[in-house]
Structure 1
Amino acid sequence: MSTNHQPLDPNDENQALNPEGQTGAEVPAEGDQDLAALLEAAQAQVVQYHDELLRAKAEVENIRRRAQDDVAKARKFGTESFAESLVPVKDSLEAALAVPDQSSQAWREGVEITLKQLVAAFERNLMKEVAPAAGDKFDPNVHQAISSVPSEFPEGAVVQLLQKGYTIADRVLRPALVMVSSGSQG
């Protein structure tokens, strides 16, 4: 038997180890067949795991792309409901302007009806008015103080509303502009 001291090539399936740990051209032993079967099974499992990994990666990419599309559509069409609510208001204003020679009473009634339509549109779209009354406590989250004046109200109370504010779904769209009490006058 010749002795070969060359290293084993892991890619050469024809190499085999003899009982002394040397390479030779002998037929693989029964234990080697078990190892070959185990290796083949492990390689098949690696291929399966690789395939599952690629499929999972593709699915994550699809989910990410769908989420981006959903966000883009939400931005694009997010105001659609609100716009639909405002169309009848515009129609009413145009109808009022189309009628010549109206009495002031007819104009007033038309404006009141149009205002009701606008309020209903705001309510449908979760838009609420912020209009503190005189004496209400100043809330910096929804009010903006324009000035501080002495008054009969306690310090930090709203003295006068200058402009209404608005919120949409509890998010401030515009704060109410107010004058705040600095305390008693004397």
Structure 2
Amino acid sequence: MDESTAADAAAAAEAVAADDAAAADSVAEGNGDSDSSPGELMAQLETDLQQARDAALRAHADAQNIKRRAEQDIEKAHKFALESFCKELLPVVDNLERALEVTSGHDGSIKPIVEGLELTLKSFQDALKKFHIEVVDPQGEPFDPQLHQAMSMVENGEVEPNTVIAVMQKGYTLHSRLVRPAMVMVSKAPAGQ
């Protein structure tokens, strides 16, 4: 139990004790009711005491719940603080990958440029992995609407229907939460089948 919780519990106990003292004083004074017997007054005092204890327990439980929710909110804020920054970096990774695709068929004269692009892309990918940003590249996998965005459907009898046959843009997740869906082409059964 931390200090604030202990202080809340102590304050609730003091309030119950004060209520008990006030109730005892009113019993000692007779409270002006000549119709009430001492047994009825004691029963009323016990009921009031139980209600005060219940209220104190509820207040303590509410304080614990608020504390737990605040801790969860802080944890989520730390975990997903990089999401908007990640979204801004993903186009840079896409552009590096496109540049490597374009240069793959060229002669050896641009080999140093290609090597530089490969190293830069690898550094970027390593940095993304370090911060739990994972690639969603579903080539050949079944279509998953939770992770993929279908851009078109193409008739293809060589693969099962609803299979990703082309990835136009890779997707990414941050701590298993989708940041950007993979843009894909999905197969469908040929019209004659």
Q: TM-score, normalising length from structure 1?
A: 0.51
Which structure's relative contact order is higher, taking Cα pairs within 8 Å and 6+ residues apart?
2
C-alpha distance in 2, partners of 1:177/1:15?
Answer: 82
Aligned identity (percent) is 27
Which protein is bigger by CA-based radius of gyration?
Answer: 1
The 10-residue stretch of structure 1 (164-173 or 105-114) with the greater mean CA deviation from structure 2: 105-114
Q: CA RMSD in A?
A: 3.9
- Partner AA of 1:69 in structure 2: A
1:122 aligned partner: 128
2:144 aligned partner: 139
Give the drift of 1:110.
5.4
Query: Which residue of the other structure, out of 185, 189, 193, is the alignment partner of 1:179?
Result: 185
C-alpha distance in 1, partners of 2:58/2:162?
Answer: 58
Query: Which residue of the other structure, out of 126, 130, 148, is the alignment partner of 2:153?
Result: 148
Q: Count the aligned residue pairs.
A: 138
C-alpha distance in 1, partners of 2:146/2:74?
Answer: 31
Give the drift of 1:162.
0.6
Residues 163-183 of structure 1: CA deviation (Å, up to 9, x unaligned): 111233443332211122344
- Matched-pair contact (CA < 8 Å) for 1:153–1:159: no
Give the drift of 1:137.
3.2
- Matched-pair contact (CA < 8 Å) for 1:150–1:184: yes
**Change in 2 beyond 3 A, CA 1:128/1:60:** same
C-alpha distance in 2, partners of 1:13/1:152?
Answer: 93
1:168 aligned partner: 174
- Structure 1: gaps spanning 5 or more residues: 1-9, 17-34, 90-103
- Matched-pair contact (CA < 8 Å) for 2:141–2:164: yes
Task: Compare the two structures and name the one with the higher helix fraction.
Answer: 2
- Partner AA of 1:70 in structure 2: E
Residues 8-65 of structure 1: CA deviation (Å, up to 9, x unaligned): xx9645569xxxxxxxxxxxxxxxxxx63x4454344234323312321321332243
- Partner AA of 1:157 in structure 2: T
- State the secondary structure of the residue aligned to 2:57: helix
- Partner AA of 2:148 in structure 1: H
- State the secondary structure of the residue aligned to 2:46: helix
Q: TM-score, normalising length from structure 2?
A: 0.50
- State the secondary structure of the residue aligned to 1:69: helix
- Matched-pair contact (CA < 8 Å) for 1:159–1:178: yes
